Amino acid sequence: MKVKLISHTPSPEKLCGSAASVAYSEEGFEANYDKNDDSAQKILNHCVKSGHHSITEHASFTFSVEGISRACSHQLVRHRLASYTQQSQRYVRFDELAFVTPPKIRKNNEHEELFKETMQQLSDNYKKLLDAGVPAEDARYIYPNAAKTNLAVTMNARELMHFFSLRCCERAQWEIRELADMMLREVLKAAPILFCKSGPNCYSKGVCTEGKFTCGRMDEIREKYEKIHSK
C-alpha cells in the first residue's frame, strides 16, 4: 500500500481559521484572511478542540492511494462526502493479477500457499478469457476482492475527521485501518492544528463509542495516536 498527499487547499489552517473569524467579526472574510496567521491559527485551534468543525469544510485534501484491495476500496467509497477516481478494470487489461494477502493468511504457510494458488489460477483464467476474445469488461468478473487497485481521493477536512474517527478504530477492518493511519500521517504534515484531535473516538473524544464491541485497549490506542501526533 502506498499513500501520498498530492495536493490540498493552499494555507488550509489560515483559510479555516479566517473563516471562523467571520462569525465573530464586523469585517468580512477577506479582511479576516488578510490578518496575521497567528490570529487564524489561534481561533482554529479553539474551534477544533471545542468541536466546532463546520469551518473545516473549507479545506480539502487530495490523496494518491495505490495497491489497496478492492475489498478495501469498497469500504472507502462508502464515505460519500468525498470524490473518487478509481482504476478501471474495464479499460485496463492486466498481464498478472496483483493482489493483497491478508496478514492472518500469511501467518500460515498452508493457507498462504492455497491463497496464492487460487490467485494464480484466476489470473491464468482471466488471460485465457482475453485470448479467447472475451472483452476485458467481462473477463474482469473473474477477479476477486483481493485484486489491487489505485485511486485518487479527495475529502474536505471535516469528512476526513469523521473518516479517521471510524476507520482508525481497532474495530475497523485491518486494511482500511492501515489506510486511515497512513492518510492521517500525511495530513498532519500539512495541517497539524486542523487535525490535532484526529484519530479514533477514544483518542479524539476521550471515550470509546463501540459499546459492548469495545477492544478494551483504550489506553494503548490513545498512546499509539499520541505518538502519531508527536512525530
**Known catalytic residues?**
167
Q: Are 8 and 191 in contact (CB under 8 A)?
A: yes
CA distance 86 to 69: 12
Question: By three-state DSSP, how is residue 54 classified?
Answer: helix
Residue 132's Cβ-side half-sphere holds a number of Cα atoms within 13 Å equal to 9
The residues facing 148 across adjacent strands are: 69
The radius of gyration computed from the CA coordinates of the chain, to the nearest angstrom, equals 21
How far lies 114's CA from each of 105, 109, 144, in Å? 9, 9, 15
Nearest Cα residue to 52 out of 43, 65, 39: 43
Q: Is 55 exposed, middle or buried (0-12, 13-18, 19+ CB in 10 A)?
A: buried
Q: Determine the Cα–Cα distance for residues 110 and 60; give it in Å rounded to an integer.
A: 45
